[in-house]
Amino acid sequence: MNNISSGIHSTPIEQDKGQMTMEDIHSSKGEVIVKSVATAVVVSSIIHAGKGVMAALSRHPLVMFSIGMGAGYLAHKYRKKIISVTGKTAEQSKGFVLRQKENLKDLFAETEEDAGEKDASK
């Protein structure tokens, strides 16, 4: 094999590890796109294959009974964790709704002030 080396500098140049060059940025964007497309293809094929398998399995009562037993076992095993997560989620959703109501009240107040200023300027 031919080993041809074309070097411009006699000593290797070290790049700053904190900074990325334009070549690194472009290659990473390309890699991200390729990885996301590959992931989408794999997920799509798994979902397509899974639909056929689940359709075939759902016709057998023993399989459905086994799935139900497994789901019941897991629900019983993790019931305390499920209840705590559900409670936390409910509290967070109440807080979210209250924040959104406050934001809407502020928005309406601002629009009323703007409308009042426009009427006063006329």
pLDDT tens digits along 18-77: 565 555 555 677 788 888 888 999 989 888 888 887 788 778 889 889 999 999 999 999
Q: What is the pTM for the complete model shown?
A: 0.41
Residue 16's SS3 state is coil
Quote the percentage of the chain above a pLDDT of 70: 77
**pLDDT at site 21:** 59
Across the range 2-23, mean pLDDT stands at 53
What integer best gives the mean pLDDT of the chain? 80
Amino acid at 29: K
* Rounded alpha-carbon distances, angstroms, from residue 67 to 47, 57, 63, 70, 75: 19, 10, 6, 5, 12
**pLDDT at site 110:** 87
* Rounded alpha-carbon distances, angstroms, from residue 75 to 70, 80, 83: 9, 9, 10
Q: Where are the domains of the chain?
A: 24-73, 78-122
Across the range 6-15, mean pLDDT stands at 51
Query: Cβ(103)–Cβ(97) under 8 Å?
Result: no
Question: What's the CA gap between 41 and 49, in Å, rounded?
Answer: 12
H-assigned helices in 8-78: 22-57, 61-77
**pLDDT at site 48:** 85
